[in-house]
Amino acid sequence: MSRRKLADLGLDLPLLPTSTVGSFPKPPELVEARAKAARNALTRGELDRLERRATEFWVRTQEELDLDVLVDGEQYRGDMVAYFAATLEGFASGGLVRSYGNRYYHKPVIVGPVRWKAPITVEWWRWTQALTGRPVKGMLTGPYTIMDWSFNDYYPDRRSACLALAREVRKELEALLEAGARIVQIDEPALSVRPEELGFAVEAMHTVVDGLPAYYIVHACFGAFETIYPGLLDLPVENLDLAISHSALDLLAMFEKDPFTKDLSLGVLDVHSHATESPDEVAARIRRGTAVLPADRIWVDPDCGLKTRTVEESRAKLAAMMAGVRAVRAAAAAAAGR
Amino acid sequence: MELILASAGSYPRIGDSFEAQRHRRAYAERERGAISEAEWREVEDETAIAVVREQAAAGLDVVTDGQVRWYDPISHLARHCEHVQINGLLRYFDTNFYFRQPVVSGPLRRLRPVLRRELEVARSATDRVVKPVLTGPYTLACGSILEGGYRSRRELARAYADVLAEEVADLAHAGVALIQVDEPELLRHPEDADVVRDGLARLAAVRGRAHLALYTYFGDALPVWDELMTMPVDIVGLDLTYGPKLADRIAEGGAPKMLALGAVDGRNTKLETAETLFRVLDRVLPHVRGPVALGPSCGLEFLPRARARAKLETLVRLARAYTDRAGRTA
């Protein structure tokens, strides 16, 4: 693990640090409030109050579950790209497109030069961090995913749109670090969609993070990673967070062939399944990870954000995850003591 | 030159207004158990009918039901087979759309007909040609997880072909003129062209009087051009948005098969102009004989509903302008 970097940043995390990927389900009253607010039937202030109450609920829940690195739960966000596009200049909100099943989102449209105008995530990060003594991750969407998940009516090609976005995402990162964030997760779920574009995706990530001190996690999920591995390791970040649980852990077989050189956040919960994993299942998935990587380079988290699950399902899944982690930690401690 | 304006498959099932989201609300109600299966089927039928009529109103000659009942292009057909379970989500090519992976654990057998009823509903809504769309056996095999019953993707593709052949036979019996078979995975795996060919041959054997159209998209078909032109199908659909070389290839050597030109970008909202579309048509049409189909590069479900419609209206307007211009200069 990049323990030295974490130590330099003043962070002391246990073996197999636990975290979540970002989103938690919104409680029913907040879902209702957002719908009302969309119809202008609720004030911004009232919605904000409910968002903060839900955020505090999730902070306390994460503390109760004993997670090590917290998230704000994204109670104020809808879609991860549209949220950023709504604040960056140069975007217009597009119509609804389907993501899967009955899930739709407003796919943004780039209609002019993109420009960062003001901090987007900083106030929520600062407010959430003030609630807890545990570190809270800064959460950004990466430039490649913003580009890929937007329609482009302005830039001549995908590369120029991506690099323009990278320059603006960097400004948000600078603001986040200035506020005090030390661990920053950059979501790039689109990373594997066009393997021939990995080169400029890596270039864009350099533009975002080079020279800025933090522990960086890139989260990518539901992709065909075999097509961009081991090139993926060129990303200038410390930790790659990959969806593992429902892919029968075949990514780890790839690591046995081409050594994985970074820390790995091991997604051990299938966020699209209603079924709760057992602690034994979680422990088994972690052990598949520790079979190919040293345990001190592994973090443990769900596959993806939990927003598609219910509050109860999320808690149950995370409780199982923590029980599995505790079992593996205890076994490691016992082995070390022998 | 006769231009036949044709849909390429899917179509958005909801729009942005409250009224245009009945399907979405009913879907959620069904998940909660608040409406019956019969009520849900009624909403699906209404949605399909509206989509058919919207394509016809835009001016298309060949329409589809928009595949509005399909959860996704892979699991819709597979879930009606024995020994298939539907698994987690995987990104569908380089779209921001996700499909559920079928897990095949034993010999495939169709449990029930799938497309025949969908066809009849669509036909009831229009006098235009209704084109049923199937995801091809090879693309289904690539999208599936093989855990048992077959030793290889090749064998699985053959088994899917036998299942799909039952669908094709049903459709042929119903008297359809044209059936579209989508094989986008061929562009990612040109080395498996013989597997695609074998699957299509199994479908062609039972097609009766229906014409088969093989559609590829989400990539440049140039590397498999020669293979495409010898596939056992009547029409080949091409995505022309991945660069100019494919149009150049057609211009240089013509095409022994009827082509369906995907010259309208089904993946981006920017509307085509006469300049961009005419450039492609001028390059290609003088070098092909017989009728040519013109349409989107892929299904339009990746666009918002209003923009999908605008794309079709733009296609029809520009195609008419092109035909008029050709008539004046002839």
Any A CB within 8 A of B97 CB: yes
Query: In this structure, which amino acid lies at residue A199?
Result: G
Going from the C-alpha of B91 to that of each of A3, A281, B99, the distances in angstroms are: 33, 25, 6
pLDDT tops 70 at residue B140: yes
Q: Which two tokens stand for residue A23?
A: 């989103």
For residue A193, which residues of chain B lie inside 8 Å, CB to CB?
91, 93-95
A–B CB contacts, 8 A cutoff, strictly below: 83
Task: Tell me which amino acid residue B124 is.
Answer: S
Contacts of A109 in chain B (CB under 8 A): 269
Phi–psi pair at B327, nearest 5 degrees: -65, -40
Q: From the list A96, A152, A273, which residue is nearest B304 (CB)?
A: A96
Q: Which residues in chain B touch residue A304, judged by CB atoms under 8 angstroms apart?
A: none
Could you tell me which chain A residue has the CA closest to the CA of B271? A153
What residue ranges do the domains of chain A occupy? Answer: 3-82+117-337
- Please name the member of B94, B301, B307 whose beta carbon is closest to the beta carbon of A194: B94
For residue B95, list chain A residues with Cβ-Cβ distance below 8 A: 193
Is there a contact between A100 and B93 if contact means CB atoms under 8 Å apart?
Answer: no
Most B CBs within 10 A among A31, A79, A80, A102, hence the mutation to make, goes to A102
All structural domains of chain B, each given as residue ranges with its CATH number in brackets, are: 3-329 (3.20.20.210)
Site from A151, A153, A269 to mutate, B interface, most B CB atoms within 10 angstroms: A151
Among the partner-chain residues A94, A192, A270, the one whose CB lies closest to the CB of B88 is: A270
Q: Give the model's pLDDT for residue A246.
A: 56
Do strands A239-243 and A183-187 pair parallel, antiparallel, or not at all (unpaired)? unpaired
Rounded mean pLDDT of B273-295? 94
In CATH, A3-82+117-337 is 3.20.20.210: yes
Q: Which residue of B has its CA nearest to A196?
A: B94
Inter-chain touch B16–A96, beta carbons under 8 Å = yes
Mean pLDDT of B173-183: 97
Chain A residue nearest residue B25, CA to CA: A102
The candidate with the shortest Cα–Cα distance to B65, out of B114, B102, B16, B2, is B114
Sign of CA dihedral A36, A39, A42, A43: positive
Does A193 sit within 8 Å of B16, measured CB to CB?
no
Q: Which residues of B touch A102 (CB under 8 A)?
A: 24, 27-28, 31
Dist CA A265 CA A304 (whole Å): 11
Model pLDDT, residue A99: 92
Chain A residues inside the 8 Å CB shell of B72: 100
B31 and chain A in contact, CB less than 8 A: yes
Please report the pLDDT score of residue A188 as a whole number.
95
Q: Please give the backbone phi and psi of residue B173, each rounded to the nearest 5 degrees, phi first.
A: -60, -30
What pLDDT does A157 receive?
A: 87
Taking the C-alpha atoms of residue B16 and residue A95, their distance in angstroms, rounded to an integer, is: 6
- CB–CB contact B90 A222 (8 Å): yes
Q: pLDDT tens digits for B8-18?
A: 999 999 999 99
| B190-246 pLDDT tens trace | 999 999 999 999 999 999 999 999 999 998 899 999 999 999 999 999 999 887 889
DSSP B72: S
pLDDT of residue B172: 97
Residue in chain B nearest A193 by alpha carbon = B94
Chain A residues with CB under 8 Å of B302 CB are: 97
Block means of pLDDT (10 residues each) for chain A, length 338 residues?
A: 86 96 94 91 94 97 98 91 93 93 92 97 97 98 95 92 98 98 96 88 98 96 76 95 65 80 92 90 91 92 91 96 97 88
What's the pLDDT at A56?
A: 97
d(CA B272, CA B281): 13
Q: Which residues of A touch B16 (CB under 8 A)?
A: 95-96
pLDDT band at B271; cut points 50, 70, 90: very high
CA distance A14 to chain B (A): 31
Tell me whether residues B270 and A223 touch, CB distance under 8 A.
no
Burial B287-321 (b: 16+ CB within 10 A, else e): ebeeebbbbbbbbbbbbbbbbbbebbebbbebbee
Nearest to B204 by CA among B1, B196, A106: B196
Q: What pLDDT is attached to residue A18?
A: 98
End-to-end, the C-alpha distance of chain A in Å comes to 23
Q: Which residue matches tokens 């020279």?
A: A211
**How close is the nearest chain B Cα to the Cα of A330, in Å?**
31
Cβ–Cβ under 8 Å, residues A306 and A270: no
User: Distance (Å) from the C-alpha of residue A246 to the closest C-alpha of chain B?
Assistant: 6
Per-residue 3-state assignment (H helix, E strand, C coil) for chain A: CCHHHHHHCCCCCCCCCECCCCECCCCHHHHHHHHHHHCCCCCHHHHHHHHHHHHHHHHHHHHHHCCCCECCECCCCCCCCHHHHCCCEEEECCCEEEEECCEEEECCEEEEEEECCCCCCHHHHHHHHCCCCCCECEEEECHHHHHHCCEECCCCCHHHHHHHHHHHHHHHHHHHHHHCCCEEEEECCCCCCCHHHHHHHHHHHHHHHCCCCCEEEEEECCCCHHHCCCHHHHCCCCEEEEECHHHCCHHHHHHHHCCCCCEEEEECCCCCCCCCCCHHHHHHHHHHHHHHCCHHHEEEECCCCCCCCCHHHHHHHHHHHHHHHHHHHHHHHHHHHC
Q: Do B304 and A102 touch (CB under 8 A)?
A: no
ipTM of the complex model = 0.95
Candidates B146, B165, B190; CA nearest to B77 is B165
Q: What tokens were used for B197?
A: 């060919």
B120 near A CB under 8 A: no
Cα gap B276→B270, rounded to integer Å: 12
Q: How close, in Å, is residue B290 to chain A by CA atoms?
A: 35
The distance of A140 to chain B (nearest Cα, Å) reads 18
Residues of A with CB under 8 A from a CB of B: 94-102, 104, 107, 109, 148-149, 151-153, 190, 192-194, 222-224, 246-248, 270, 272-273
Is residue B264's pLDDT more than 90?
A: yes
Which residue has 């009831």 as its token pair?
B124
Rounded distance between C-alpha atoms, residue A108 and residue B173, angstroms: 44
B249-284: b or e for each residue (b if 16 or more CB lie within 10 Å)? bbbeeebebbbbbbbbbbbbbebbeeeebbebbeeb
Cα(A224)–Cα(B142) distance, rounded to whole angstroms?
A: 12
Report the pLDDT value the prediction gives residue B326, as an integer from 0 to 100: 82
Window 268-327 of B: residues touching A by CB (8 A cutoff) are 268-270, 301-307
**Of A98, A102, A153, which has the smallest distance from its Cβ to B97's Cβ?**
A98
| Contact check, Cβ <8 Å, A153/B268 | yes
Helix (H) or strand (E) holding B134: strand B133-135
Q: Which of A201-210, B265-274, B310-319 has the lowest mean pLDDT?
A: B265-274
Question: What element of type H or E holds B91?
Answer: strand B84-91
Q: Which residues of B touch A224 (CB under 8 A)?
A: 90-91
**Is there a contact between A95 and B89 if contact means CB atoms under 8 Å apart?**
no
